[in-house]
Each structure stands twice: as C-alpha cells, then as structure tokens.
Amino acid sequence: MRKVTIGMLGLGNVGSGVWKVLQDMSQELMEQHQVQLNVKKILIRNLRMDRGLVLPEGILTTAPEEVTDDPDITHVIECMGGEQPATDYMEKALKNGKTVITANKMALALNWRRLKGAAREGKAGFYYEASVGGAIPIIRVLNDSMQANRIDTVMGIVNGTTNYILSKMTDEKRPYEEVLKEAQELGLAEPDPRADVEGHDAAYKLSILSTLAFHKSVPYESIYKEGISKIQVEDITAGRDLGFVLKLLAIGKKENGVMDVRVHPAFVQENHPLATVSGAFNAVYLHGSACGDMMLYGRGAGSLPTAGAMVSDLISSLDSSSFDAPDSAPETLEQPAVTDNWRCGFYLRFSALNQPGVLGHITTKLGEHKVSISSIVQREAVDETGVPVIVITHSANEKDVQAALLTIDPKIAQVISVLRVEGR
C-alpha cells in the first residue's frame, strides 16, 4: 500500500470540499488504487474560525513552510486563491519537488511561465484541472484526448455568476442591477463583482484554454475583455424575439496562424449547443480537425464539484512518474499573432426617425463598408424619441462595422447598442 502525504494551502469553500471528498472517498481510493491518503498540514489565516469540520489536533497552521518545505509532504493542494502569495508558495513547493494541484486560474494565467519553470526545475507534477470549468474535465481533454486534432475554435461559458445573471435577465426580463443585487444576496456574486462581471475571471480561463488548444502561449493581457454590466434587457429581449440568446463567451479562434482571443457578451442562435447552458452551469465548445464539433458541460464551480476535480488530479498524478504529467502547453512564451479585427455577426439597435428612407440609409451605409445584412426589423415605437430598428449582419470585420456606424447620420438613426453574434 502506497502512502501519500498531502499538504493543503487553504481550507475555504474549495479546501473544505477537498477535505470532505478525501474523507468520503478514502476507502474506495484505497481499494481501487492501493493508496492511503493522509493530510498532514493545512495552511489557513485564522486559527480560531469554526469551519464546521472535524479536524485532527494540530493539523491547521499559519506557517506556509510547514507545507511547502516539509520533506514528508509529496503533494500540495492549493486552494487559497489570489495571485499572491499563492504563486510564491506553489513555486516553492514545485521547486522542492512536490506535485502541486491547483484551482487557481488567476495565479496560473498570470504566472504560467514561472510555475511551469518551477515544475521543470523541481521535476514535479503540476495539475490544474479545477482552474477552468470546475467539475468539467476540459484540461484533460485538451491535454490527452485531442492530440490528433488541430483545434481551430474553443468557445466557452466559463463564468457561472455572469451566466446566472444573463439567464435571469433573459427569462424574467429584469434589468442588470436588480439581478446582480439578487445574486449578491444569494451568495452567487461577490460583494465586489468586477472580476466576474467585467470578464477578468473568464479571461484567465481563456488564457489557459487557448494556450492548451493552440499550443502557443496566450497571455491574459493579449485577451480583449468586455463585461456584461452595460447590457440592457431591451437588447436581450429583442435578440430573443429573433431567435438568439445572449451569453458571456470566452472565445479563442485560430485561422492561418492568427489568433482571435476575446471575452465579451455575444448572441448565439437558440439552437447552438451553448444557448441551452443556463444558470450556474458552464460549458466549453471545441471544434477540431478530426473530431468536428464537441461540447463539454457540467457544474463550473462549487465546493464539491471543484474539489472532485482536484482529488481526481491527485489520483492521476499517482499514476504518472513525477515529471510526466500530460501537458500540451508550450514550453516557451512564443507570442502568437493576435488580431484586433476579427469577424463575426453583429446585432445593431438603432433609435430611428419614423419616416420613409431610414432603413435605406442604414443599409446603404453598412453596404458601403462591406457589411451585409441578414435581417432588419423595425419595431413599434415605445415613445416619441424614435422607432427601434434592429439589424443582424452576416459575418463582417469588426473594424468595417465600426467604420460604417460612424457614417450613419445620427439625426436619422442613433446607434443605441452593438453586440456581437457568434456562430461556431
């Protein structure tokens, strides 16, 4: 029977889940893998906090070196979060030859090279399945199962908070501020929600996903980010009437060696696999040269789903020799060519004069910039300020659309909203 001694960094939401999964699964894991898992130390900040767990005397510590430097500890499970000091502690543990398992997308996306370098130096395994998509095994799929595929698209709903808010706005036709407040009261959104609603959390995850999918390092800083805080329920409803559903998408595309990496709200057609992913669920859609379309779906966060992914990483690490953790990530930080002129469809809402020739003016100006129209709808006026006109374009260059909108006479039609429409 193999004995594995574990140190944990953090015992909050995810850490408590890891503790519970280890307790719950210990007998099965012992029988199936001939392994006895023993947690020796857990780093926390507050020794007095009641954590609602039965813990052995002396297991908690506030001294990080009792985890990172203890020679008995071979595996470190990091679930403390934040960039620092988590990165420093993981780096130290890796350099000391310990296998590290983390759920920390921020530390990983911002310090990819440093942590990979430490793993190489310490000849240590480094696992991060739980950093993207909670319980969804997307990292394993990208690293292991897609070797014979050239992936051209990775597109995901990877932030449960924003997906919950957009789903509620769609289903109940309620404004953003009201739904956000409710999500905060329910504990589904942080008191400071910016990391989620401004797209930073999704961008950390996209940095990891696109680096693995495209075998080129895609730094967080190279990702275009736009959040959901300015979304108006009128647009969600108008899009819904035309058969589209609004989602916050993390999108990575690669065409002719050029990448397009961005996080922003986008409409998807109601029959697209991502359209049905609602509430706190996550999904990642892939398109590969051999596999075609594929989507992975599941619980994107939560104590036990995330902990399950971490303990699975731990078990996988036992079957690998220390340094051969499957990993398709590049060793170097070769910068990809990233475009700022991507192509997609566009949803445009105008407030227009209620007179003949207005639709002609809009379509002419768009046409002059090579933007062709898929559908155009004039809706009933809600007040005297103008008539809502909704345009859905075919796939067009972002810069052409922006240029065309600048030429539309605001005395005839004012641009109210511009949202992107994603197909594949």
Does residue 419 bind ligand NAP (CB under 6 A)?
A: no
**Burial letters for 151-182: b for 16+ Cβ neighbours within 10 Å, e otherwise?**
bbbbbbbbbbbbbbbbbbbbeeeeebeebbeb
Contacts with ligand NAP, 267-306, as mask; x by CB under 6 A: ----------------------------------xx---x
Which residue number is nearest to ligand NAP in terms of Cβ?
12
Provide the 10 A C-beta neighbour count for residue 357.
10
Distance between alpha carbon 125 and the CA centroid of its chain, in Å?
A: 23
Closest distance of CB 240 from ligand NAP, Å: 29
Whole-number Å distance between alpha carbons of 196 and 27: 38
Type of residue at 313: D
Closest distance of CB 13 from ligand NAP, Å: 3
When the beta carbons of 44 and 408 are compared against ligand NAP, the nearer one is 44
Contacts with ligand NAP, 111-150, as mask; x by CB under 6 A: -------------------x---x----------------
Whole-number Å distance between alpha carbons of 67 and 417: 52
* Element holding 377 (H helix, E strand): strand 373-378
When the beta carbons of 90 and 419 are compared against ligand NAP, the nearer one is 90
List the one residue out of 87, 81, 209, 195 whose CA is nearest residue 146: 209
Known catalytic residues? 205
Q: Which of 43, 188, 248, 274 binds ligand NAP (CB under 6 A)?
A: 43
When the beta carbons of 110 and 329 are compared against ligand NAP, the nearer one is 110
Does residue 103 bind ligand NAP (CB under 6 A)?
A: yes
Contacts with ligand NAP, 82-101, as mask; x by CB under 6 A: ---x----------------
Whole-number Å distance between alpha carbons of 424 and 415: 27
Does residue 13 bind ligand NAP (CB under 6 A)?
A: yes
When the beta carbons of 134 and 239 are compared against ligand NAP, the nearer one is 134
Per the structure block, which two tokens stand in for 238?
A: 């108008």
The answer to whether the peptide bond before residue 85 is cis (omega within 30 degrees of 0) is yes
Closest distance of CB 180 from ligand NAP, Å: 18
**Helix pair 200-214, 112-122: axis angle to 10 deg:** 50
Site for ligand NAP, rule CB under 6 A: 10-15, 43-46, 49, 79-81, 85, 103-105, 130, 134, 301-302, 306
